[in-house]
Amino acid sequence: MRLEQHVDSHLVSPPGRRLQAVVSLSPKASRAARGDDERGVQLSLPSERRLRNPVRVDADQRLEIGRLGPPGRLPADASHEGQASRGGGGRPRAGRAAAQRRMARRGFWRRQPRHDDRARDHAGEHDENRNDEEGQTAPSSAMIAALRRRVVHGRLKMPQPSRRSQLIPFSPIRTMFRLADEMERAGGGPVFRLHVGDPDFAPPPVVVEATAAALRAGKTHYAPTAGVQELRTALAGKARARNGLAASTEQVIITPGSTQALFATLEILFGPGDDVLLPEIYWPNYVQETMLLGGRPIFYPLGPGYQPDVGALPQLVTPRTRAILINSPSNPTGAVFPEATLRAFYELARERNLWILSDEAYEDFVFRGSHVSPGSFERDLPEEERRVFTLFTFSKSYAMTGLRLGCVVAPSLYTATLLRKCQEPLVASAGMPIQWGALPALTETERAGVARMKAAYQRRRDLALSILQPAGMADYVPEGAFYIMADVSETGMTGDEFAVALLREERVAVAPGSGFAIQPRFTADGSPMAEPSPTGAPEYPTNPKARHRVRIAFCVSDEELGEGLRRMVGFAERHRAGAERPPAQRAVRRPAKA
């Protein structure tokens, strides 16, 4: 049977710069494309020549693991990321995924030898109807010519999505969510989830109960844009007492999480064509947000222990620079910047007339000395001479990631007014019940719970070091947060290769370092040097400093962390032994076809 008899294909133009085709692989999928829940498989058809390098927009749950072929870059993100990690779930749809794997197995759209079959077999998975579509081949040139004719005839003139939305990178952290989920669903027991920065603790019971009470008491109407006044006042008090900020209630803007706080703040700190200084190893949202807002990230170098090279900072500042972002304690490195470093940042900002955005999501988890808020350096200045925006969140300190609550402390009333004004079209406000529910978290009583979590993270950090250091995989000591960037260079693998192979062989999920080090390039006028991709995001170069790193998060029990890390070290030892083999070969246990 010819493929053409099976497929329902037509050009799509969303990414605009390339031809694309939707190929639905079975009559069922073809019907489904009319409104059912099953989706067709979308692959790029830029030309016949490039046909063997397909990508997909689809979000089929099992497909991705089949695409993790050659050790190399992680696949583009897809839409189920993390969905089942905390009980989301949903059954994979075997029929079409299986069909696609069948095609993949035949080398239909392979570029390189694949070894995903091994993983699938390893997982004990079988195609129930492996042989029912024999004889398939690549789409013929006649088909492609027909697809092209449709475009030439202008029948599919479709609007283009904005370049900004097409050009920001995916956050690769969540790709590991999905891969781990897929692996668990495929059977074979649980996965050690060392890739997730989501505390394994529960929110304080008092928060749960106060939120439920607020719901029942009818606190279900619009909250003020800037937040419930009582919570703002409590947070201002906390920022004065614990962070040393000169914060009034009016300077506190409550946000649905500090991700959103960061976006709103960046929105007011710079405009299109401006530059923002970011750490070169960073939380991926920083670059996504900077690019969505038309800015250009400029990366400041990090030296040993991921400490900033403050001497290198001044030369990065140009007339286009508007702001410096500081994230101490840091995600993903766990580095805590000493006060002298923070002061150097502050002085540079003052000299060169820049804003500072201080993301202090991990303020409560500092293991040596105490947390320093750069905003405290200017507490005695008149408000209109202050320049530090400080971001806090309930997510980490109180294990409330899914409750979406954070805040910005703006340096002045004017900037607070702008923030509040912008929040109205951005989100209207944070949720009402959770604002009432979060109030009791700020009492002194609840500090004991935070202290217990801090002790747990510190204990796990020590445990991680005790396993990684003897193996030569930890070359610094994270002093805060709950992460370490482990060094996998002795395996010869990149972090991406390491993470995928480790998940397959040992069922241990870690986050590849490259995801925290994407470095898009820009033209002189500040436009990203990239083109939209049918996957949803272009591939960008990454900082070599993160190339052989993986991020470990201490958000599982001590036992799980210990066992996962021991497996990882064992895995690394085995692969170090065979380090002569080039990486592309090493992970391949069974020769690929193609």
Q: Taking the complex as a whole, how short is the minimal distance between the CB of residue 429 and a copy of itself, in angstroms? A: 7
Out of 164, 242, 371, 545, the residue judged to bind a copy of itself by CB under 8 A: 164
Query: Contact 120/66 with Cβ under 8 angstroms?
Result: yes
Nearer to a copy of itself, 513 or 534 (CB): 534
Q: Tokens in use for 42?
A: 């979308």
**Is residue 14 a contact residue for a copy of itself (CB under 8 A)?**
yes
**Comparing C-alpha atoms, which of 44, 45, 37 is closest to residue 61?**
37
Sheet holding 549-553: strands in order across?
483-487, 549-553, 511-512
Q: Taking the complex as a whole, how short is the minimal distance between the CB of residue 323 and a copy of itself, in angstroms? A: 8
Per-residue mark of binding to a copy of itself, 222-241 (x: CB under 8 A): xxxxx-xxx--x--x---x-
Q: Taking the complex as a whole, how short is the minimal distance between the CB of residue 465 and a copy of itself, in angstroms? A: 26
**Is residue 325 a contact residue for a copy of itself (CB under 8 A)?**
no
Taking CB under 8 A as the criterion, which residues in 230-289 touch a copy of itself? 230, 233, 236, 240, 246-250, 256-257, 259-260, 262-263, 267-272, 274, 285, 288-289
Alpha-carbon gap, residue 591 to 577, rounded angstroms: 21
Out of 163, 371, 447, 576, the residue judged to bind a copy of itself by CB under 8 A: 163
Taking CB under 8 A as the criterion, which residues in 392-451 touch a copy of itself? 399-404, 412-422, 424-434
Q: Taking the complex as a whole, how short is the minimal distance between the CB of residue 56 and a copy of itself, in angstroms? A: 9
Alpha-carbon gap, residue 130 to 117, rounded angstroms: 13
Q: How far apart are the first and last CA of the chain?
A: 20
Alpha-carbon gap, residue 109 to 369, rounded angstroms: 55
Cα separation values, 335 from 450, 480, 545, 556, Å:
20, 6, 15, 20
| H-state helical runs in 186-254 | 205-216, 229-241
Q: Taking the complex as a whole, how short is the minimal distance between the CB of residue 79 and a copy of itself, in angstroms? A: 5
Q: Taking the complex as a whole, how short is the minimal distance between the CB of residue 200 and a copy of itself, in angstroms? A: 9
The one-letter amino acid code at 449 reads: G
Nearer to a copy of itself, 126 or 157 (CB): 157
Taking CB under 8 A as the criterion, which residues in 352-391 touch a copy of itself? 353-355, 379-380, 382-385, 387
**Is residue 203 a contact residue for a copy of itself (CB under 8 A)?**
yes
Q: Tokens in use for 180?
A: 């781990």
Alpha-carbon gap, residue 287 to 393, rounded angstroms: 19
Out of 27, 161, 188, 470, the residue judged to bind a copy of itself by CB under 8 A: 161
**Is residue 567 a contact residue for a copy of itself (CB under 8 A)?**
no
Per-residue mark of binding to a copy of itself, 511-550 (x: CB under 8 A): -----------------------xxxx-------------
Taking CB under 8 A as the criterion, which residues in 34-63 touch a copy of itself? 34-39, 42, 57-59
**Is residue 118 a contact residue for a copy of itself (CB under 8 A)?**
no
* 577 sits in which H/E element: helix 558-577
Q: Give 74-105 as a DSSP string.
A: PPPP-TTTTTTTTT------HHHHHHHHHHHH
**3-state secondary structure at position 547:** coil
Out of 72, 95, 113, 294, the residue judged to bind a copy of itself by CB under 8 A: 294
